Structure 1
Amino acid sequence: MTPFERRIVACQDRLANVGADLLVCFPSPNLTYLTGFAESPSERHLLLFVPRDGEPAIVAPAMYETQLASLPIAELQLRCWTDSDDPLEGVGRVLTDYSLEEADEATVLVDDRMWATFTQDLRDLLPDAAFGLASTVLEPLRIRKDDVELTALRRAGELADHVALEIRRRGEELVGMTESELAAEIDRLLVAEGGEEPAFETIVAAGPNGARPHHHSSSRQIEAGDPIVLDFGAFVPADLEAGTGRYPGDQTRTIVVGDPPAEYERVHDIVREAQQAAIDAVEPGVTAGLIDRAARSVIESAGYGDAFVHRTGHGVGLEVHEPPYITAGNDRELEPGMVFSVEPGIYLEGEFGVRIEDLVEVTEDGADRLNETPRGWETGL
């Protein structure tokens, strides 16, 4: 079986476990996860149907027929429609094939991000059905990465490492560059090292701008002694035979060219200690909330609790931000194969910020970091 065939079978098993009859996806990471087909949403009906029993089907515009026919899923019905057709006729035929149009108590799970117009179409066709969210079934599957996904995420981590080392090596060359110029250079290096494109808007935040966790790189020039928060990563493709799927890197380092300001070294040491405490706490069965607490308690004990203003981390997969979320009160227990960031930070308004971030994989007995570059602040190494 191909990775996608295995995922569809697992999806059907989950549908049976939760007592649902049908799952419907539209262009989204969920669709890519199940089929290997990636496309942006549009006003056109492009829907994947996965029944609890029977063959999955796709209703799609005829322009995609060649691409969809080549998907690595042997038992996949393809129902294409042209611009002169009513796409709902094709949708209705699929629902009839699954004996859902006449069912009294069918349960349909729709993609969490499905546009309202498509959800309403399904409600009109299945007025007696109960509706829920596809994440009920897909989140437990997507949250644990398979070997193909883990290989891609490790490769994305290595790519980010190469770029981080190159930027750190340049040392004094960074002085005089603007934040935007350095961000553009990081983006260039990410692609040159083999990334498809940056996974998110690269953050370069120098001096007092570093106190804004999601600062947008600006025309501010980097000065000697500025703490510089660097947060970046690139998408890399997974080896999924004829399907597609790409996975991101996500790494943050805070560096200084020259002598740092007063208090900086202490703050940096605290953040580094907090990150290490959180990673040391990772193992199967521990809750996501406990990992957040491990990092936060170090920062609070040092007197900077109010300056740690965001969660400790987030899951990473087909999306840069996905479950599990490493935040206070999250009782989700960690399982082998989960991948998430650990990124505590301290942000001192008007002065500087410090954040250190690595991706980690939960293993059978702990955690493996996917990033291995130095976590100190020195440059020119």
Structure 2
Amino acid sequence: MEHSYTQRRERARTRLRKQGADAAIAYPGPNLQYFTGFRGEPVDRFHALYVPAEGDAVLVSPNGYLSQARAYADVENFHAVDGNDPDAVAAAIESRLPSSPDEVLLDDGAVAALAGPLYERLGTDVVGSAMPLFTSMRRRKDEAEIEALKRSAAVADAVSEEIRALGSDAVGMTEAELATEIRAKMHARGAKGVSFDVVVGAGPNSADPALRHSDRPVRAGEPVVVDFGCFLDGYASDQTRMVVYEGDPPDGFEDAYDATVEALDAGVEAVEPGTTAGDVDAAARNTLEEHGLADRFIHGTGHGVGLASHEELAIAEGESTELEPGMVFSIEPGVYFEGEWGVRVEDLVVVTDDGVERLNSSPRTWRPL
């Protein structure tokens, strides 16, 4: 199924008219990709998509990168500027605006080199943030996006099983080596990159939810957390599984693991249109409370996923955002015993018209295959 970038831009124009804004400007990164299919380089190539409340969108691009933009951007109108000059891009945008614009919404991802000239030309009283508009639009995925997210999740599922199947071969590997193996296996399955730095934490390192990986070797009988995802067709995956290679896990681990999976399932079961993000968090958190583990759950339950691995939707305590069909997010309860071991299990879900669908299907077990 193909993405309908034209329809997305039309929806943006409708919203701009409703709020009385003259235009929105998307910068290279996920917002430009959402509206055109072209991600661009967000640091040193000053493309900008101009979406007016009235009229057609225009992609302003440096002349040297125009052929790249034409090849990848699904947009009809292009405006080339000489060199890679952010002020020239700002001038091109200004030339298309009304003589006295009321409000122009700028992508918060715009680097200072581009944002600066726009503020100077238009004034700080005219330039506002486009992020409320962009975030609200990207939060609900259409059918093409959901299919892309499912394909990306399928890669993570397959690699998860491959890593679990390493068995005794994983014992003695360092966390960093295992992370490299995960990256290679995702690329072998068509991934275009990792959606975030691969997390591998063994033994006491599994109790640190902020750790990525280290040179510590994996030892027999200790819990190993593997948290990873990839980009496929532009969309991210994010999955967490546990595995114990060889031997028996430490005392208390199995009970904590079972409680964490139960909390994950409770969170998934709470998802339906109209319930709140906080309700999903409460379902997972209350389950761990029943097992006496709530004080070991030290982070939120989940986050939005889409063109980025972490998007604005927060599944956290007290969050009042009502869930709507098409929202995609993680549910990832965890419990941590500092200096000993930790447990975290994560699936992605999509809100459907009448409930929820999991995007991940790999086994939720700590036992190696």
What's the TM-score, normalizing by structure 2?
0.94
What residue is the counterpart of 2:211 in the other structure? Answer: 215
What residue is the counterpart of 2:243 in the other structure? Answer: 255
Distance of aligned partners of 1:130 and 1:91 in 2 relative to their CA distance in 1, 3 Å threshold: closer
What residue is the counterpart of 1:291 in the other structure? Answer: 280
What residue is the counterpart of 1:340 in the other structure? Answer: 329
Q: Within 5 Å, which residues of 2 pair with 1:296-311?
A: 296-311=285-300
User: How far did 1:177 drift?
Assistant: 1.6
What residue is the counterpart of 2:317 in the other structure? Answer: 328
Pairing 1:98–2:97 present: yes
> Which consecutive segments of 4 or more residues in structure 1 shift more than 6 A?
none
What residue is the counterpart of 1:242 in the other structure? Answer: none
User: How far did 1:261 drift?
Assistant: 0.5
User: How far did 1:328 drift?
Assistant: 1.3
Amino acid aligned to 1:344? P
Please list the CA deviations of residues 306-347 of structure 1 after superposition, one character each: whole Å capped at 9, or x if unmatched.
211111001111100002111112111111111110000001
SS at match of 1:324: strand
Alignment length (residue pairs):
367
Please list the CA deviations of residues 83-124 of structure 1 after superposition, one character each: whole Å capped at 9, or x if unmatched.
6xx65355335423331xx31x61111101222342231222
What residue is the counterpart of 1:57 in the other structure? Answer: 58
SS at match of 2:105: strand
In 1: Cα distance, 2:262 partner to 2:22 partner? 48
Please list the CA deviations of residues 49-102 of structure 1 after superposition, one character each: whole Å capped at 9, or x if unmatched.
11100122222211111122345545424232236xx65355335423331xx3
User: How far did 1:378 drift?
Assistant: 1.1
SS at match of 1:106: coil
Amino acid aligned to 2:210? H
Amino acid aligned to 1:20? A
In 1: Cα distance, 2:302 partner to 2:124 partner? 41
User: In the alignment, which of 156, 161, 165 is matched to residue 169 of structure 1?
Assistant: 165
User: How far did 1:265 drift?
Assistant: 0.7
User: How far did 1:297 drift?
Assistant: 1.1
Distance of aligned partners of 1:260 and 1:15 in 2 relative to their CA distance in 1, 3 Å threshold: same
SS at match of 1:334: coil
SS at match of 1:284: coil
C-alpha contact (below 8 Å) 2:227/2:239 kept by paired residues? yes
Q: Within 5 Å, which residues of 2 pair with 1:1-381?
A: 3-43=4-44, 45-71=46-72, 73=74, 75-82=76-83, 88-89=87-88, 91-99=90-98, 102-103=99-100, 106-127=102-123, 129-237=125-233, 246-257=234-245, 258-379=247-368, 381=369
In 2: Cα distance, 1:114 partner to 1:289 partner? 31
Amino acid aligned to 2:52? P
In 1: Cα distance, 2:110 partner to 2:75 partner? 26
In 1: Cα distance, 2:73 partner to 2:59 partner? 13
Amino acid aligned to 1:88? D
Distance of aligned partners of 1:169 and 1:324 in 2 relative to their CA distance in 1, 3 Å threshold: same
In 1: Cα distance, 2:294 partner to 2:7 partner? 45
C-alpha contact (below 8 Å) 2:260/2:344 kept by paired residues? yes
User: How far did 1:305 drift?
Assistant: 1.8
Distance of aligned partners of 1:262 and 1:29 in 2 relative to their CA distance in 1, 3 Å threshold: same
Distance of aligned partners of 1:42 and 1:178 in 2 relative to their CA distance in 1, 3 Å threshold: closer
SS at match of 1:162: helix
In 2: Cα distance, 1:373 partner to 1:276 partner? 14
User: How far did 1:139 drift?
Assistant: 1.3
In 2: Cα distance, 1:329 partner to 1:2 partner? 34
Distance of aligned partners of 1:220 and 1:94 in 2 relative to their CA distance in 1, 3 Å threshold: closer
Distance of aligned partners of 1:87 and 1:293 in 2 relative to their CA distance in 1, 3 Å threshold: closer
Worse overlay, 187-196 or 124-133: 124-133
SS at match of 2:8: helix
| CA root-mean-square deviation | 1.9
Please list the CA deviations of residues 16-73 of structure 1 after superposition, one character each: whole Å capped at 9, or x if unmatched.
1222111112212111111122222235542221110012222221111112234554
Specify every segment of 5 or more residues in structure 1 that has no aligned partner in the other structure, as ranges.
238-245
Worse overlay, 263-272 or 165-174: 165-174
Distance of aligned partners of 1:197 and 1:91 in 2 relative to their CA distance in 1, 3 Å threshold: closer
Q: Percent identity?
A: 43
Worse overlay, 41-50 or 15-24: 41-50
In 1: Cα distance, 2:312 partner to 2:19 partner? 20
C-alpha contact (below 8 Å) 1:274/1:295 kept by paired residues? yes
C-alpha contact (below 8 Å) 1:176/1:222 kept by paired residues? yes
C-alpha contact (below 8 Å) 1:288/1:333 kept by paired residues? yes
User: How far did 1:165 drift?
Assistant: 1.2
In 1: Cα distance, 2:92 partner to 2:224 partner? 58
In 2: Cα distance, 1:321 partner to 1:112 partner? 16
Amino acid aligned to 1:155? R
Amino acid aligned to 1:247? Y
Amino acid aligned to 1:215? L
Distance of aligned partners of 1:184 and 1:125 in 2 relative to their CA distance in 1, 3 Å threshold: same
